[in-house]
Structure 1
Amino acid sequence: METEFNCHFCDVCDGYGCVGQMPGMGGPNASRNFILNCAAWKSVGKGPFEPEEIEVRLAPMTGAVENVGYFDEKQFYFDLVASCVESGIKITIGDGTPDFKLFWGIEAVEFYQKKNPSLKAGVFIKPYPDEKIFERYERAMGIMEFGGIDIDSYNIITMRNLVHLEKKSASDLIALKKFLSSKGIPFAVKGVFNSEDIEVMEEVKPDIVCISNHGGRVDVRQGSTAEFLKENYRRLKNCCGRLWVDGGIRTMEDVRTASTFGADGVMMGRPFATALCQKKSFSEVLK
Structure 2
Amino acid sequence: MKEVNDKARDLMKGFCRVCKVCDGRACAGEVPGMGGVGTGSSFKSNVEALEGIRVNMRLLHDATQPDTSTEVLGYKLSMPVMAAPIGGVSFNMGGGVSEEDYADAVVSGSRAAGVIGCTGDGVPPFIHESGFAAIEKNNGHGIPFIKPWEGAELDEKLEKARKLGCTTFGMDVDAAGLVTLRQMGRPVSPKTPEELARIIEKVHSWDARFIVKGIMTPDEAELAAQVGADGIVVSNHGGRVIDHTPGTAEVLHEVAEPVKGKLAVLVDGGVRTGVDVLKMLALGADCVMIGRPVSVAAVGGLQEGVEKYYETLKGQLVGSMVLTGCRDIAAIDLNVLF
TM-score by length of 2: 0.75
Match of 1:116 in 2: none
CA contact (8 A) 2:39 2:243 kept: no
**Inter-partner Cα distance in structure 2 for 1:161 and 1:88:** 39
Helix, strand or coil: the match of 1:147? Answer: strand
- Identify the range of structure 1 (16-25 vs 144-153) with the bigger mean alpha-carbon deviation: 16-25
Alignment of 1:121 with 2:142, yes or no, is yes
**Inter-partner Cα distance in structure 2 for 1:67 and 1:52:** 36
- Identify the range of structure 1 (273-282 vs 53-62) with the bigger mean alpha-carbon deviation: 273-282
How do 1:120-199 residues align onto structure 2 when only pairs under 5 Å count? 120-129=141-150, 131-141=152-162, 142-162=164-184, 163-194=186-217, 197-198=220-221
Inter-CA distance 135–14: structure 2 relative to 1 (3 Å threshold): same
| Structure 1 runs not aligned, ≥5 long | 114-118
CA contact (8 A) 1:186 1:207 kept: yes
Match of 2:82 in 1: 57
TM-score by length of 1: 0.88
Identity %: 32
Larger Rg: 2
Inter-CA distance 275–42: structure 2 relative to 1 (3 Å threshold): same
Query: Deviations 1:203-230 (Å, cap 9, x if unpaired)?
Result: 3241001111111112265211111102
Moved over 6 A (4+): none
**Inter-partner Cα distance in structure 1 for 2:228 and 2:132:** 27
- Residue 192 of structure 1: CA displacement? 0.7
Alignment of 1:3 with 2:11, yes or no, is yes
Query: Deviations 1:136-168 (Å, cap 9, x if unpaired)?
Result: 112111232311211100022223443111220
Inter-CA distance 20–131: structure 2 relative to 1 (3 Å threshold): closer
**Inter-partner Cα distance in structure 2 for 1:122 and 1:213:** 19
How do 1:1-287 residues align onto structure 2 when only pairs under 5 Å count? 3-5=11-13, 6-44=15-53, 53=68, 55-71=80-96, 72-113=98-139, 119-129=140-150, 131-141=152-162, 142-162=164-184, 163-194=186-217, 197-198=220-221, 200-219=223-242, 221-237=244-260, 240-279=262-301, 280=305, 281-286=308-313, 287=316
Query: Deviations 1:59-114 (Å, cap 9, x if unpaired)?
Result: 0111111111133223222233232233333111121112221111111222233x
Query: Deviations 1:108-143 (Å, cap 9, x if unpaired)?
Result: 222233xxxxx5211211111353222211211123
- Identify the range of structure 1 (273-282 vs 97-106) with the bigger mean alpha-carbon deviation: 273-282
Inter-CA distance 242–46: structure 2 relative to 1 (3 Å threshold): farther
Query: Deviations 1:168-210 (Å, cap 9, x if unpaired)?
Result: 0001000011101111001110001246633532532410011
- Identify the range of structure 1 (271-280 vs 258-267) with the bigger mean alpha-carbon deviation: 271-280
CA contact (8 A) 2:178 2:241 kept: yes
